[in-house]
């Protein structure tokens, strides 16, 4: 059963939007770029971005 859930996680991982806290289950997943950490599609908010709103 563990192997099956691990397979499912690996398959579904790229579909997770960066807002989903997948790090709660597997911290190592949250360190991957496709999870939104350094994703150019979802850049982290900077102080200048907030001030310009």
Q: Mind listing the pLDDT tens digit for each residue in 9-39?
A: 555 556 656 665 555 555 554 455 554 445 5
Percentages of the chain per state (helix, strand, coil), in multiples of 5: 55, 0, 45
Q: What does the pLDDT read at residue 48?
A: 72
Question: 10-43 b/e with 16+ CB inside 10 Å = b?
Answer: eeeeeeeeeeeebeeeeeebbeeeebbeeeeeee
Contact 22, 15 (CB under 8 A): no
The model carries a pTM of: 0.15
Both tokens of 3, joined, read 């192997």
């Amino acid at each position: 059963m563990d192997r099956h859930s691990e397979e499912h996680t690996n398959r579904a991982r790229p579909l997770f939007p960066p807002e989903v806290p997948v790090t709660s289950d597997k911290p190592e997943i949250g360190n991957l770029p496709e999870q939104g950490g350094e994703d150019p599609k979802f850049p982290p908010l900077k102080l200048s971005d907030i001030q310009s709103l």
